[in-house]
Amino acid sequence: MVDRSTAHALDAADPLAPLRDRFALPPETIYLDGNSLGARPRSAAARLVVAVRDEWGTGLVRSWNDAGWYTEPARVAARIAPLLGADPDEVVVADSTSVNLFKLLVAGARLRPGRTVILTSTRDFPTDVYLARAAAELLGCELRGVDGPDAVPAALDRDVAVVALCHVDFRTGALADAHGLTAAAHAVGALTLWDLSHSTGALDVDLHGWAADLAVGCGYKFLNGGPGAPAYAFAARVHQEELRSPLPGWFSHADPFAFDPDFTPVPGITRLACGTPPVLSLLGLAEGVASLDGVTPAALAAKAHGLTGLFVELVDRHCPEVEVASPRVAEARGAQVALRHPRAYPLVRALAARGVVGDFRTPDLARFGFAPAYTRYADVADAVGVLRAVLDHDDLDRLEPAQHHAVR
């Protein structure tokens, strides 16, 4: 049995413990997948009912003004900014992470005319690599792919326009040295583009402290915006005036309702918007971000390190046959831990059947996210107890690959 007394003591001393009440979580579930889809803020259901029934149903088109739909993206962006260590006028909420990556890869490379290389890690999340390749093709640049962020410094030279990297390795949770790599990129005159999808809302993101140039990230993971919530993009103020989006839709125009046939970009970060925002999803994101109000990135990171640290310690002690595939030093990993197991997919399914929800990453990782806003230390201890029970009692050979779900 996994002893819960240490976990209870940690929960009792946890300054973020009261945040859990802001979320609606099913009582029988230990949810360790907030890095894939964040939990629902309690306030989201009522807010969306008002939006659908009253603002859409009764207000109709007037709600763009009367209910504040038109100005909502800027309000949500201003709330995300402190979680990024950025200012409100450096953040825009729009589109998906993938689309924002494409816009900033192209716009960023065009800030360094004459340079011919986009540098990235081929271990990054595949959408990031696909889009870096597509941007390089469009620009007539070379895509220089290296094997992990540690290999970036040796690949830097004065041909590199943009270094595009994920802050957290989506498989192992290994954290890139954003501050050091940004400085290395700047030393050769290159710009950085950070993907913060697995960081914001859980880690100590500090774009100003890193001197970062450009960044993107996801609204539905640790920001709890709901499935498919819009994403955000960041551009440091110094770059904004020069920045030209390759997707200059009417919402990036200085005056969309002038219906001007000529394009004039709006001053500032809003030029990275493109078209009409998905208002219902945006309002879900507004509730998700509001659920982190008053919490600092440093406090979120401290708890994430505490939760992942306890998980690693208990897995080592109680499940020694499972390999911890994440960095062992808390400061070197994100808010997630991956366990390597030859039957990782059946393992994840068996855990879910017993109420512990994580996810599988091919070929052999069982991945667990520890959202600091709503995960308790007791959940960590209980999850390891269930893992021990699965390893002891469940037949992991009975689930065949044919039983894979489409979304894993």
Ligand X SMILES: *Cc1c(COP(=O)(O)O)cnc(C)c1O
Q: Which residues bind ligand X (CB under 6 A)?
A: 96-98, 125, 127-128, 166, 170, 195, 197-198, 218, 231
Q: Quick check: is 221 catalytic?
A: yes
Among residues 23, 220, 311, 370, the one annotated as catalytic is 220
Identity of residue 96 = S
102 is catalytic: no
What are the phi and psi torsion angles at 120 (to 5°)?
A: -145, 175
- Which CB sits closer to ligand X, 63 or 308? 308
Active site residue 303: no
Residue 339 and residue 320: Cα distance in Å, rounded?
11
Measured from the CB atom, the residue of 96 and 192 that comes closer to ligand X is 96
Kindly name the residue from 103, 367, 370, 379 that is annotated as catalytic: 367
Q: How far is the CB of 342 from ligand X (least distance, A)?
A: 25
Burial zone of 17 (CB within 10 Å; 0-12 exposed, 13-18 middle, 19+ buried):
middle
Q: Are 270 and 92 in contact (CB under 8 A)?
A: yes
> Is 103 labeled as catalytic in the residue annotation?
no
CB of 383 to ligand X, least distance (A): 22
Widest Cα–Cα separation across the chain: 70
Instruction: Tell me whether residue 83 or residue 387 sits nearer to ligand X (CB atom).
Output: 83
**Which distant-in-sequence residues (6+ apart) come within 8 Å of 236 by Cβ?**
90, 207, 211, 212, 213, 214
Of 57 and 227, the one with the shorter C-beta distance to ligand X is: 227
Q: How far is CA 187 from CA 155, 160, 182, 243, 381, in A?
A: 13, 11, 9, 21, 45
**CA separation for the pair 240, 220 (Å, rounded):** 26
Which CB atom, from 127 or from 240, has the smaller least distance to ligand X?
127
The minimum distance between CB 188 and ligand X, in angstroms, equals: 24
DSSP per position, 295-344? --HHHHHHHHHHHHHHHHHHHHHH-TTSEE-S-SSGGGB-SEEEEE-TTH
For residue 199, the minimal CB distance to ligand X (Å) is 9
Phi, psi of 67, deg, nearest 5 = -95, 0
Nearest-angstrom CA–CA distance, 373 and 292: 7
Residue number with CB closer to ligand X (170 or 232): 170
Q: How far is the CB of 350 from ligand X (least distance, A)?
A: 25
Shortest distance in whole angstroms from residue 166 CB to ligand X = 5
125 catalytic, yes or no? yes
- Active-site residue, from 125, 232, 311, 368: 125
Residues marked as catalytic: 125, 195, 220-221, 367
